[in-house]
């Protein structure tokens, strides 16, 4: 590189530094303004996530960007990232309390991560929260005293036992709810153990989300919904989207969505281990898509084996879904071993037809994801 080039580059980089300084100031200013919007909403008890308002704002910005010859997708991506940051900051303000006269909330399994997240959100909304974990049953009577809401979030394998044996003496007007990732059995247990309002919830996210904005919570109604409407409103104020479902339909979907999928990821990891795969080498040779897939498998093994055992063993019917996959895999492999290329292509086309418009939609979505993966590369 000659001196002239070096000097030109240095000069331009100085300009870029200046622009980036201004950018930082602007980001700080926007975060502050959105925090003020949050405070006003907080005072008025409005949900922090307003999908229509957000969509309208983004459409307007895209148009303005196009007029300035800036890619509409660029401004949308940057604003979405900024909105995430603002949602995270909401926590500092706290949330409007929907039900001011509620007795204490008891979180059974409060020492767990998900219990901790709900305890935090409820505390930020002005509720008195008490935790009850496995060593606290001796003090159960005093902890439950006057409780307005009891939330059960203990390992799936013991959920029904805890409900049936320990939660059958709650005050009649207390709401009993659970956060288990299956819904039929815990809901039945709660309806048996408790005569008051009963509600099944399944938060469709891990405890490490920074904010509940846009996250899904599945709602399975139990009994006396008029008594817990406020709780659903409260969850909406945290930014989550509620999806109502019948417990058995939810559980059937979870056999595919959770048990089968986690199991096949587990086997994929097991397979790499048994093949003595060289992860470093695999990463060297990885396209963004494979890197992402490897990360999705590897992340499993950074988490609790008990948690995954719980999810996989939770429903006997999951074995059927897991077994069906094995049968399909085995049949497709026979086809491969026979060298039946045309058979593979025909089946592929059948499945593609069945996916219909979802296939190109998923391709677009994943393309955006893969670009993000590539953005993150550091060498």
Is residue 372 close enough to count as binding a second copy by CB under 8 A? Answer: yes
Are the beta carbons of 159 and 186 closer than 8 angstroms?
yes
Of 47, 48, 81, 139, the residue at the interface with a second copy (CB under 8 A) is: 81
In the complex, least distance from residue 335 CB atom to a second copy, rounded to whole angstroms: 11
Whichever of 194 and 262 has its CB closer to a second copy, that residue is: 262
Of the pair 166, 215, the CB lying nearest a second copy is at 215
What residues between 187 and 206 interact with a second copy by CB under 8 A?
A: 204-206
| Positions in 324-363 near a second copy (CB under 8 A) | 324-326, 328-330, 332-333, 336-337, 339, 341, 344-345, 347-352, 354-355, 358-363
Among 111, 191, 242, 257, binds a second copy (CB under 8 A): 257
- The single residue among 142, 192, 249, 317 that binds a second copy, judged by CB under 8 A, is 249
Q: Is residue 379 at the binding interface for a second copy, with CB under 8 A as the rule?
A: yes
93 binds a second copy (CB under 8 A): no
Kindly tell me which of 18 and 168 has the beta carbon lying closer to a second copy. Answer: 18
373 part of the interface to a second copy, by CB under 8 A? yes
- Kindly state the number of chain residues that form the binding site for a second copy, as judged by CB under 8 A: 159
Residues 224-247: b if buried by 16+ CB within 10 A, e if exposed: eeebbebbbebbbbbbbbeeebeb
Cβ at position 327, least distance to a second copy in Å: 9
Site string for a second copy, 32-51 (x = CB under 8 A): -xx-xx--xx-xx-x----x
For every residue of the chain, which 3-state class applies, written as one string? Answer: CCHHHHHHHHHHHHHHHHHHHHHHHHHHHHHHHHHHHHHHHHHHCCCCCCHHHHHHHHHHHHHHHHHCCCCHHHHHHHHHHHHHHHHHHHHHHCCCCCCCCCCCEEEECCCCHHHHHHHHHHHHCCCCEEEECHHHHHHHHHHHCCCCEEEECCCHHHHHHHHHHHCCCCCCCCEEEECCCCCHHHHHHHHHHCCCCEEEEEECCCCCCCCCCCCEEEEEEEECHHHCHHHHHHHHHCCCEEEECCHHHHHHHHHHHHHHHHHHHHHHHHHHHHCCCCHHHHHHCCCHHHHHHHHHHHHHHHCCHHHHHHHHHCCCCHHHHHHHHHHHHHHHHHHHHCCCHHHHHHHHHHHHHHHCCHHHHHHHHHHHHHHHHHHCCCC
Tokens representing residue 297 in the block: 């498998």
Site string for a second copy, 56-75 (x = CB under 8 A): -----x--xx--xxxx--xx
Q: Which of 245, 246, 248, 317 binds a second copy (CB under 8 A)?
A: 245
* Binds a second copy (CB under 8 A): choice among 94, 103, 171, 269: 269
118 binds a second copy (CB under 8 A): no
Minimum Å gap between C-beta 193 and a second copy is: 25
Out of 91, 221, 227, 261, which residue is the one contacting a second copy (CB under 8 A)?
A: 261
Considering only 79, 124, 164, 191, the residue that binds a second copy (CB under 8 A) is 79
Smallest distance, Å, CB 120 to a second copy?
18
Closest separation in Å from C-beta 313 to a second copy: 6
Task: Tell which one of 16, 59, 139, 146 touches a second copy (CB under 8 A).
Answer: 16
Interface with a second copy, residue 312, by CB under 8 A: yes
CA-CA-CA-CA torsion sign (322, 328, 334, 338): negative
């Amino acid at each position: 590189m000659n001196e002239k080039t070096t000097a030109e580059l240095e000069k331009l980089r100085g300009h870029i530094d200046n622009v980036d300084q201004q950018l930082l100031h602007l980001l700080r200013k926007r975060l502050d303004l959105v925090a003020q919007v949050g405070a006003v909403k907080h005072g008025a008890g409005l949900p922090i996530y307003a999908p229509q308002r957000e969509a309208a704002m983004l459409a307007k910005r895209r148009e303005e960007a196009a007029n300035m010859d800036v890619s509409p997708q660029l401004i949308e991506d940057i604003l979405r990232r900024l909105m995430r940051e603002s949602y995270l900051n909401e926590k500092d303000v706290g949330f409007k309390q929907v039900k001011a006269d509620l007795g204490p909330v008891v979180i059974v399994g409060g020492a767990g991560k998900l219990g901790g997240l709900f305890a935090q959100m409820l505390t930020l909304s002005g509720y008195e929260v008490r935790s009850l974990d496995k060593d606290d049953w001796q003090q159960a009577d005093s902890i439950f005293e006057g409780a307005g809401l009891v939330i059960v979030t203990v390992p799936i394998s013991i959920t029904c036992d805890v409900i049936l044996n320990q939660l059958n003496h709650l005050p009649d007007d207390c709401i009993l709810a659970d956060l288990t990732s299956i819904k039929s059995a815990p809901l039945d247990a709660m309806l048996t153990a408790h005569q008051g309002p009963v509600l099944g919830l399944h938060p469709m996210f891990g405890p490490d989300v920074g904010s509940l904005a846009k996250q899904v919570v599945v709602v399975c109604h139990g009994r006396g919904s008029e008594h817990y409407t406020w709780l659903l409103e409260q969850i909406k104020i945290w930014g989550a989207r509620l999806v109502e479902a019948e417990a058995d339909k939810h559980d059937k979907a979870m056999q595919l969505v959770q048990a089968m999928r986690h199991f096949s990821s587990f086997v994929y990891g097991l397979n790499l281990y048994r093949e003595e795969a060289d992860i470093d080498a695999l990463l060297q040779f990885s396209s963004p898509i494979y890197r992402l897939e490897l990360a999705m498998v590897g992340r499993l093994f950074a988490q609790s084996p008990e948690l995954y055992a719980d999810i996989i063993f939770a429903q006997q019917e999951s074995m059927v879904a897991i077994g069906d996959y094995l049968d399909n895999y085995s049949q497709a492999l026979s086809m491969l071993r026979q060298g039946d290329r045309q058979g593979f292509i025909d089946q592929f086309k059948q499945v593609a037809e069945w996916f219909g418009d979802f296939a190109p939609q998923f391709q677009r979505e994943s393309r955006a994801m893969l670009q993000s993966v590539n953005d993150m590369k550091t060498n």
